[in-house]
Chain A
Amino acid sequence: MNALISGLLRYGVILSAAIIAIGTVLLLLSNGSQDISQLVVYNPNQLPHGNFDPSLGHMFAGLVALDPQSIIEFGVLVLLATPAARVLLSVFLFTAEGDRTYAYITGVVLALLLFSMLVTPYIPGFNH
C-alpha cells in the first residue's frame, strides 16, 4: 500500500515539475527582462485579483496556444491534484485491505476535499 501511494506522489510531482519548468522557461524567454512590478499586479477591486485569467476555459485555450502562464497554471493544477489523487487511491487500498472503517473515513475526507476544490470556490459568499 505504501509503495503505491509513494509511487503516485512521486510521478505526480515529477510530471508537475516538468510542466511548470517548461512554462517557466517559455515565460522567461519572452518576458525575462521585464520588470517584475509590471508583470505581477494585484487589483483588490476586481475579481480575479491578478492581471491574468485563471479560469479553466482560458487555461485550455492558453495550453493550445502554448501560452507560458497557462502552462504553469496547468502544472500547478497537476500538483494540486496529487493530494486528492492519493486520498482517492487510499480509499481503494483500504477497501482492498478489507479495512472498512478507514475506507469510510478516507471516503469522507475525499468528499470534503472534492467539495472544497470544486464547489466552494464558486459559492458567492466565499469570493471577494
Chain B
Amino acid sequence: MIAIEFTIIVLLVSVVGGILGSILGLGGAVVVTPLLTIFLGIDIHFAIGASIVSIIATSSGAAAAYVKDKLTNLRIAMFLELGTTCGAIVGAGLAVYANSTLLKAIFGCVLLVSLVPILMKIGEDIPKSPELKGLAKRLSLQGSYTETNGTVVRYNSTRPGAGMFGMVVAGLLSGLLGIGSGAFKVLSMDLAMKLPMKVSTTTSNFMIGVTAAASAGIYIVRGDVDPLIVAPVAIGILIGALIGSRLLPRTRNPTVRKIFAIVLAATALEMIAGVFGY
C-alpha cells in the first residue's frame, strides 16, 4: 500500500478513535492500535509509539472543552496524577523485562472481570453521594457540574486510597504497554471512588495525557514514534476529540456507561485474542 492511501485510512479511523476515546475517557489507541497492527501490519513497537501520541491527542484535544464545562475535576485529577506518573516511569523502565504477552493476557482478563460491576450499575445515573470524610475531605475531592438540562449535580468521592492504587496500576500499564491506562482510571473512579460516570470519563481524559507524556520521552528516544505513522493518527484523533467533546455533555451518564461497557468488552477480547496471535 502506498503512503498516501495509508495516511488517509489511518486518518479516518483515527477520527473514530478520537470520538470514542474522548467520550469514554480512553485514549483513541483503543481503535487505532488494532488498525495498525492487525489490518495494516505495522510493527507493534511503532503501534505503541503511535498509541502514546494518540492518547495525548485525545486528552488535550477533548480536555479543552471538558475543563471549560467543569466536568473534569481538576483537584481529583491532580491528586491521582501523583500515582499515574510514578507508575508510568516505573512501567516504561520495566518494559524491557516485561513479558508483554503475559501482561496483555492479565490485562484482558482484568478488563473482562471489571465488566461485572459495570454491568451491575448499568442504569445508574448519579451515584448516591458518599459522605465526604478522611483524606477525601482534607483534599476536597468533591465537586459539581451542570447537566445541559440545567440540573446541578453535586458529588463527593470516597476511598481515595483505592483510587490511587488503581492509578498506579494504570500508570504501570501505560508505561509497559503504551495503552490501557484510561480504562483503569475510569474503572477506579467509577467503582472505587464512586464518582458520576461523566466525571470519571472526563477526569480520566484529562489525566491520560499526563500519564502518556510520562512514557513518551522514552519511546521517542528509542525511535518508536515514526512520523509517517503518528502524523495522521494525531490529526485524526484531534478532529475526533473535538467532535466527541461536543457530544459528551449532551449524553446522559447511563448512556456513557453502556457505551463504555461495550468498548471495554471489545478491548478485553482484543487483548486476549492478541495473546493467541490474532
Chain A residues near B (Cβ < 8 Å): 1-3, 5-7, 9-10, 12-13, 16-17, 20-21, 23-24, 27-28, 31-36, 39-40, 42, 44, 47-50, 52, 54-55, 68-69, 72-73, 75-76, 79-80, 82-84, 86-87, 90, 101-102, 105-106, 108-109, 112-113, 115-118, 120-123, 125-128
Nearest residue in B to A74 (C-beta to C-beta)? Answer: B227
**Cβ contact within 8 Å between A76 and B2:** no
Partner pick for A121 among B40, B59, B67, B221, CB 8 A cutoff: B221
Chain B residues with CB under 8 A of A79? 53, 56-57, 60, 234
Query: Among B119-127, B210-218, B249-257, which stretch is in contact with chain A?
Result: B210-218
**Cβ contact within 8 Å between B3 and A31:** yes
New A-B pairs, 12, CB < 8 Å, besides A20-B234, A36-B40, A116-B217: A21-B235, A23-B231, A27-B3, A31-B3, A33-B2, A35-B1, A48-B222, A72-B227, A75-B234, A90-B74, A121-B217, A127-B222
Q: From B45, B214, B218, B227, name the one whose CB has the most chain A CB atoms within 10 angstroms.
A: B227
With A39-B228, A109-B78, A109-B210 known as contacts, the answer to whether A121 contacts B56 (CB < 8 A) is no
B4 in contact (CB, < 8 A): yes
**Cβ contact within 8 Å between B223 and A54:** yes
B152 in contact (CB, < 8 A): no
Partner pick for B213 among A31, A84, A105, CB 8 A cutoff: A84
Q: Which of B219-268 contact A (CB under 8 A)?
A: 220-232, 234-235, 238
Top 8 A-B pairs, shortest CB-CB distance: A48-B223, A83-B209, A72-B227, A42-B43, A121-B221, A10-B64, A32-B4, A116-B214
A79 to chain B, nearest CB (A): 6
Chain B residues near A (Cβ < 8 Å): 1-4, 6-7, 40, 42-43, 45-46, 53, 56-57, 59-61, 63-65, 67-68, 70, 74-75, 78-79, 81-82, 85-86, 88-89, 92-93, 96, 139, 209-210, 212-218, 220-232, 234-235, 238
Q: From B4, B57, B60, B96, name the one whose CB has the most chain A CB atoms within 10 angstroms.
A: B60
**Cβ contact within 8 Å between B223 and A106:** no
Nearest residue in B to A83 (C-beta to C-beta)? Answer: B209
Chain A residues with CB under 8 A of B82? 105, 108-109, 112
Chain A residues with CB under 8 A of B92? 116, 120, 126
